[in-house]
Chain A
Amino acid sequence: MSRSPYLSSAPSVSVIMVKVMLALIPAIAAYVWVYGAGILVTLALASATALTAEALMLKLRNRPIKPFLMDGSALLTAWLLALSLPPLAPWWLVVVGTLFAIVIAKHLYGGLGYNPFNPAMVGYAVLLISFPVIMTHWPAPLELAQAKLSFAEQYQFIFGASLPNGVQVDAISMATPLDYLKTQLTLHHQVQDITTASQFGAFGAKGGELVVWAYLLGGLYLLQQRLITWHLPTAFLGALALMAGAFYLVDANHFASPVFHLFTGASMLGAFFIITDPVSGPTTPKGKLIFAVGIAVLTYLIRVYGGYPDGVAFSVLLMNMCVPLIDAWTQPRVFGHSK
């Protein structure tokens, strides 16, 4: 019987997932540095929820539990969602979002490999639509916050305890730069003036910048390990920069610089970790370029003209819908065929 090839080189799916999670470690460290250790609680919460939901769904669907739990995909989804949520988000928000991602976006579509939409982004989008206020309320970086919470206080806050005596919610949170920029622009301020506000840093958000650099670092590791190809991040960041650059050149008073767009919101996280989800993305090289450019354009438009401060999640989901078409249109030329 012919079972060739007898050799295999590939890292297993779980090795891939573990490496991607490894690539997220610098960003998590940066998070802890900038916003406090509360993010670890969120991560743990999301992970536990994801694993439980995954195991339960596998059981319900009569699938072997161990190999699928071990593949790490549920854990990665949980991490990506947790990193997209505002740090210090209440516990139930994390749980609901994760459940949605794993149960609805993943398993009801057939489980690993069959989900047409990026599960983490489905979870995020559902939360954003359902709880817009909480979802757009980010804590201020510790260096800017008027009141600094200890880890224990952050922990209690996540689980619903009220803030320590005398501390108002406003004292620990502030609008994100993208959000602030948007509201200030509607008040007819100019970009140059707006970005002098304290939450703006050298490139993007004060404090948040550090996390962005960490994502970039992790992303480069993924490229170096050949876990992702250059197509998606390059096309996404390039198109976003080009688009922002064009608007910026036309009217620098009303449009933020390309650098700002690259360094705020979910740009960097999206470029390397979100849009690179293989299952819900296109597979052909040209398709990847189209997909990434589409997400970049949509993200920019939503940021500038849409109702939400950031647009990565919605753009990803919109482009996910186009994947079958993109793949069908961008089939590479097969050897020996003229087209």
Chain B
Amino acid sequence: MNALLNIVHQVKNSFGLSANNTVRGGVHPAEHKQESTTLTIGSLALSKRLVLPLRQHVGHLPKVLVTVGQHVLKGQLLAEAEGNISAAIHAPTSGVVLAIEDALIPHPSGLPDQCIVLESDGQDTWGERVAIDWRHLDQPTLLAALRNSGIVGLGGAAFPTQIKLRTNPKVQIKTLVVNAAECEPYITCDDMLMRERAADILKGVEIAQYLLGAEECLIGIEDNKPEAAEAMRQACANSAVKNLQVIVVPTQYPSGDARQLIRLLTGMEVPNDKRSTDVGVQCFNVATLLALHRYFDFGEPALSRVVTITGNVSTPRNYEVLFGTPVTDLIAAAGGALDQTDDYIMGGPMMGFSLPSVDVPITKAANCIIASAPQLFAPPPPAMPCIRCARCADVCPVSLQPQELYWFSKSSNLEKARDYKLFDCIECGCCTYACPSNIPLVQYYRFAKSEIIAQDRAKEAADLARERNEFRLMRIEREKQERAQKHAQKAVGAQTEAAKEVLAVSANPEADAAKKAAIAAAIERAKAQKAAAAPQNIDKVEPAVQAEIAKIDARRDAAKQAVQAQLFESDPQDNK
């Protein structure tokens, strides 16, 4: 019977007929969630030295407010949000600012970035905490207050929360979706949070619902977390908030992708060029909602988060970890790494990345650290050519054709890749997971995306340079004509030899000027050409953007190397 239903489901899927709230594509790797859920959320001894990267979120760098040597209190604002999209940084404990310098941060690029280094005084003395009476304040006031809360999306995306709560006045938000799917294998921090602090999470839900004006709230949990779902149901039953609903969805990665989850829970597909708020839905992770509650009801900014430490360690567990705590301390708390550990992954095994070092700090985006060993994550065998088996297409949650994208990315046919909707790829990794030829597909997509972005930027720069140059040439032309006119007038007026001499003398500087202009134009042209050839026209952009570009470049190089390292494949095109 099941087999029959399965076939019906497959047939419907092939014709795009399946209902909106069924799973499309996706994969179901071994979950490995059991290991880290046997113990309650632990707390970690205070680390001596905390390193707080300024960039722990998506958006602008915050502005540093403290100086080296300054003593700060727990919860004190160290750097304030600057610009439209930004997030503040607070002191996770009391202590002294040791340095403000570049240090290694947990980022796929492996590049150092600006950090505030704090030496804790061991007292953990709180600064002033002021709860906010949100029920009696209006939305703009609350959003302004939220700006320096330091709260960002804790599901891993790290997008500043106040931006997501600032809604479009034209569209009424109907539904608040709580993302509790936690679909990546190994990660259990949200699971444990729900088991232990469901009631507090719902207090955060209440705040978010109030800020958004949402009339209903749907909580999506995968069916591999029955305890968490039960805890949330209990809490919902006891909550004063109306229209709360826990919806259990099948365990199928990547159901926790916001757009996928929204479709699963509401049946609505967010159009690719729109935000979910445009269709009346906003989505928050459970940990983010809990942070909202702590901020508004207790005046505590974002100072810590729950992190799963699992994989090849002696006691996998979840810990409440202060931001800035070195990953080494977390590993030590879990009883240390076992033999054969050769790598540490931040995030899950499907979308995470290898840490450049265990000295990097835990940041707001760090939901999980996995000690990796060959027996857990075997290095992929060498890639073979694509046999067009379309397994990748079958599992792609956004219905792309990964094998075509691969072909276009590989042959650097970037325009085609864009046509085939490369930018709709969510880099979930399902395609690579399913590929029998072990092709690192996602690496190719990351590479192709950054190539396209770089090209677009280079093109913009070149266009700008060309425009400037054309304008300059126009001006030179105009000036020439004006001079020619003057000459003609003068020539008509001048009858004497002396007058001719004057003309000769005055002609010289003009010739010089024209020559100079020509040289300048040539230099400009050469510059523009250079800019077009190599996308490095970055000397005039602001440092933040420069850093971004450096990172993208590094990512590109890394992707390139990775791709090359894994391939001995293979086709005639490669040898060109």
What residues of chain A have their CB less than 8 Å away from a CB belonging to chain B?
A: 1-13, 15-16, 63-64, 67-68, 71, 73, 110-114, 229-231, 278-279, 281, 283-286, 289, 327, 331-338
**Additional pairs, 18, CB under 8 Å, beyond known A7-B377, A113-B385:** A2-B559, A6-B352, A7-B350, A10-B391, A10-B438, A63-B570, A111-B571, A229-B394, A231-B14, A278-B389, A283-B401, A284-B390, A331-B401, A332-B393, A332-B401, A335-B269, A335-B272, A335-B424
A110 near B571 with CB under 8 A, answer yes
Q: Do A337 and B272 touch across chains, with their CB atoms under 8 A apart? A: yes
Interchain CB contact under 8 A, B562 and A3 = yes
CA distance A113 to B273 in the complex (A): 35
Q: Which residues of the other chain, A, contact B440 by a CB distance below 8 angstroms?
A: 3
Partner of B385, one of A4, A112, A286, A327: A112
CB distance from B154 to the nearest CB of A (A): 20
Q: Which B residues are in CB contact (< 8 Å) with A71?
A: 384
With a cutoff of 8 Å between Cβ atoms, the chain B residues found around residue A279 in the complex are 387-388
Q: Are A112 and B384 in contact (CB under 8 A)?
A: yes
In contact, B388 and A7 (Cβ under 8 angstroms): no
CB-nearest residue of chain A to B25: A335
Q: Of B259, B393, B434, which contacts A9 at CB under 8 A?
A: B434
Chain A residues near B263 (CB-CB < 8 A): 335
> A204 CA to B225 CA in the complex, in Å?
55
Contact B424 A5 (CB under 8 A): no
Contacts of A331 in B (CB 8 A): 401, 420
Q: Let me know if A67 and B353 touch, CB within 8 A.
A: no
- What's the minimum C-beta distance from B39 to chain A, rounded to whole angstroms? 24
With known contacts A16-B436, A230-B10, A333–B421 Cβ distance under 8 A: no
Is B213 engaged at the interface, CB distance under 8 Å to the other chain?
A: no
Chain B residues positioned under 8 Å from A338 (CB to CB):
271
Across the interface, do A9 and B421 meet the contact criterion of CB distance under 8 Å?
Answer: no
Kindly state the interface size class of chain B when it binds its partner. 35 or more
Q: Smallest CB-CB separation from B382: which chain A residue?
A: A67
Are B390 and A334 in touch, CB under 8 angstroms?
no
Residue of A nearest to B108 (CB): A2
Is B345 on the interface with A (CB-CB < 8 A)? yes
Contact: B558 with A9, CB < 8 Å? no
How many angstroms between the C-alpha atoms of A336 and B399 in the bound complex?
A: 10
Residue of A nearest to B110 (CB): A1
- B11 in the interface (beta carbon within 8 A): yes
- Report whether B270 and A336 are in contact in the complex, using a CB–CB cutoff of 8 Å: yes
Q: Is the CB of A284 within 8 A of B393?
A: yes
Residues on the A chain within 8 Å of B361, using CB: none
Contact of A283 among B388, B399, B420 (CB under 8 A): B388
**Residues B259 and A335 in contact, CB atoms below 8 Å apart:** yes
B424 touches A337 (CB 8 A): yes
| B262 → A minimal CB distance (Å) | 11
Which of chain B's residues have a CB closer than 8 A to the CB of A333?
16, 399
Q: How far is the CA of A151 from the CA of B370 in the complex (A)?
A: 61
B424 & A3 in contact (Cβ 8 Å cutoff): no
Give A284 to B393 CA distance when docked, in angstroms: 8
A289 to B390, CA, bound (A): 14
Distance of B32 from chain A, by nearest CB (Å) = 10
- A12 engages B14 (CB within 8 Å): no
* A166 CB to nearest chain B CB (Å): 51
* Contact A336/B446 with A1-B558, A2-B108, A283-B388 known, Cβ cut-off 8 Å: no
User: B388 touching A113 by the CB < 8 A rule?
Assistant: yes
Query: What residues of chain B lie closer than 8 Å to A9, measured between beta carbons?
Result: 27, 29, 433-434
> Interface of chain A, helix or strand or loop or mixed?
loop
Whether the pair A114, B571 counts as a contact (CB closer than 8 A) is yes
The answer to whether the Cβ of B282 comes within 8 Å of any Cβ in the partner chain is: no
B224 at interface by CB-CB < 8 Å: no
Q: Tell me if A5 and B388 are in contact (CB < 8 A).
A: no
Q: From known contacts A113-B388, A338-B271, infer whether A8 and B438 are also in contact, taking CB-CB under 8 Å.
A: yes
| Whole-angstrom CA separation of A11 from B15 in the bound complex | 27
Question: Roughly how many angstroms separate A189 CA and B270 CA in the complex, as a whole number?
Answer: 64
Determine whether the beta carbon of A4 is less than 8 Å from that of B110: no
Residue from A3, A64, A231, A286 within 8 A of B354 (CB atoms): A3
12 contacts between A and B (CB under 8 A): A1-B562, A2-B558, A4-B353, A7-B349, A7-B350, A8-B432, A9-B29, A10-B435, A13-B387, A67-B382, A284-B390, A285-B14
B372 within 8 A of A: yes
Residues from chain A with Cβ under 8 Å of B403 in the complex: 283
Q: Annotate B372-410 by CB proximity to A: 1 below 8 A, 0 otherwise.
A: 100001101110111111110110011111011000000
Q: B433 touches which one: A5, A112, A278, A327 (CB < 8 A)?
A: A5
Return B116 CB to nearest CB of chain A, in Å: 26
* Min C-beta distance of B431 to chain A, whole Å: 9
B561: nearest residue on chain A (CB-CB)?
A: A1
* CB neighbours of B420 from chain A (8 A): 331
Cα of A336 to Cα of B259 in the assembled complex, Å: 9
Are B436 and A336 within 8 A (Cβ)? no
| Given known A-B contacts A112-B384, A337-B424, A5 and B393 have beta carbons under 8 A apart | no
Is B429 in contact with A5, judged by CB distance below 8 angstroms? yes
Alpha-carbon separation in the docked complex, A258 to B271 (Å): 46
B397: A residues at CB distance < 8 A: 335
Alpha-carbon separation in the docked complex, A286 to B352 (Å): 34
**Is A2 in contact with B354, judged by CB distance below 8 angstroms?**
yes
Cα distance, A12 to B377, chains bound together (Å):
16
Determine whether B511 belongs to the interface, using a CB cutoff of 8 Å to chain A. no
- Smallest Cβ distance from B156 to chain A, in angstroms? 12
Partner of B377, one of A6, A64, A114: A6
Specify which chain A residues have a CB less than 8 angstroms from the CB of B434 in the assembled complex: 9-10
Contact of A1 among B273, B349, B354, B391 (CB under 8 A): B354
Assuming the A-B contacts A1-B558, A2-B353, are A278 and B398 also in contact, with contact meaning beta carbons closer than 8 angstroms in the complex?
A: no
Tell me the nearest residue of chain A to B431, going by C-beta.
A5
Note all chain B residues with C-beta closer than 8 A to A112. 384-385, 387
B304 at the interface (CB under 8 A from A): no
Give B234 Cβ to nearest chain A Cβ, in Å. 34
Chain A residue at smallest Cβ distance from B343: A6
CB pair A111 B385 closer than 8 Å: yes
- Asked if B399 contacts A332 (CB within 8 A), the reply is yes
Which residues in B have their C-beta under 8 angstroms from that of A63? 570
A279 to B561, CA, bound (A): 28
Cβ–Cβ < 8 Å partners of B430 in chain A = 5
- B558–A6 CB distance below 8 A: no
Write out the residue numbers on chain A whose beta carbons fall within 8 Å of the beta carbon of B110: 1
For A286, the chain B residues whose CB sits under 8 A away are 14-15
B7 at the interface (CB under 8 A from A): yes
Residues of A within 8 A of B24 (CB): 335
